[in-house]
């Protein structure tokens, strides 16, 4: 399938783009918001399209035209305020869901946050981020799309181990961004993840096997 990666220039996004590019099953289109980011993807031979999550639904739908799936890995980042969290992590995500519907794309994978579905377990230090993730996920759940919501624990930049623990509810833990990208990649075609939401942290089970137990 052809996959649009929204947030392709982020850390998880870059890992995912590389996995998709190297795949024999899939092709990839990177959605980015700055022209200067195109050089990086062009140097890899990756198709890149300019579109802003703060733009219109129509703009995002046009960027996704011809794709079979959308992955939302975008985020406003830890150095912005609640206003950008609202505009990118919430409204940007919801607009991307609406764009998928507008473009006739059925498959959608959302990168969320551990326990975003349970308010009582939100991290108080980044509560606005959790609010955004909670309601973005809810919009996807209420859509007609074939969704997967991946809720990773604390994101770290260590090399991926390829081994995880995945379940509907998990205690806090960490996981390399590289492994999150691999989980998203595997989830695209693993039917056990279709219309499923789950927490994920580093563990002892190979990613492909862990996803089959959901």
Burial class (CB in 10 A: 0-12, 13-18, 19+), 141: middle
* Cα–Cα distance, 150 to 135 (Å, whole number): 14
Rounded Cα distance between 174 and 203, Å, is: 10
Q: How far is CA 206 from CA 13, 18, 183, 212, in A?
A: 21, 20, 10, 10
Report DSSP letters for 76-134, one per residue.
Answer: --TTS-HHHIIIIIIIIHHHHHHHHHHHT--EEEEE--TTTT-GGG--GGGHHHHHHHH
**CB-based contacts of 37, cutoff 8 Å, min separation 6:** 9, 48
Of residues 148, 187, 199, the one with CA closest to residue 26: 187
Look up residue 121 and give its two tokens: 């377990």
**Catalytic (active-site) positions:** 129
């Amino acid at each position: 399938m052809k996959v649009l990666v929204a947030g392709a220039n982020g850390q998880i996004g870059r890992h995912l783009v590389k996995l998709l590019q190297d795949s024999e099953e899939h092709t990839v289109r990177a959605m980015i918001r700055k022209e200067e980011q195109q050089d990086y993807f062009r140097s890899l031979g990756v198709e890149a399209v300019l579109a802003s999550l703060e733009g219109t639904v129509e703009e995002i739908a046009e960027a996704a035209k011809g794709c079979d799936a959308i992955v939302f890995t975008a985020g406003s980042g830890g150095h912005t305020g609640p206003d950008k969290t609202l505009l990118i992590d919430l409204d940007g995500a919801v607009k991307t869901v609406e764009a998928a519907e507008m473009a006739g794309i059925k498959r959608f994978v959302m990168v969320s946050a551990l326990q975003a579905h349970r308010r009582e377990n939100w991290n108080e230090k980044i509560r606005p981020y959790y609010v955004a993730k909670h309601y973005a996920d809810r919009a996807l759940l209420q859509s007609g799309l074939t969704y997967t919501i991946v809720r990773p624990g604390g994101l770290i930049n260590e090399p991926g181990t390829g081994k995880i623990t995945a379940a509907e509810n998990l205690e806090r833990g960490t996981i390399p961004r590289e492994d999150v990208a691999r989980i998203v990649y595997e989830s695209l075609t693993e039917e056990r993840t279709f219309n499923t939401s789950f927490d994920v942290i580093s563990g002892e089970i190979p990613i492909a096997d862990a996803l089959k137990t959901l």
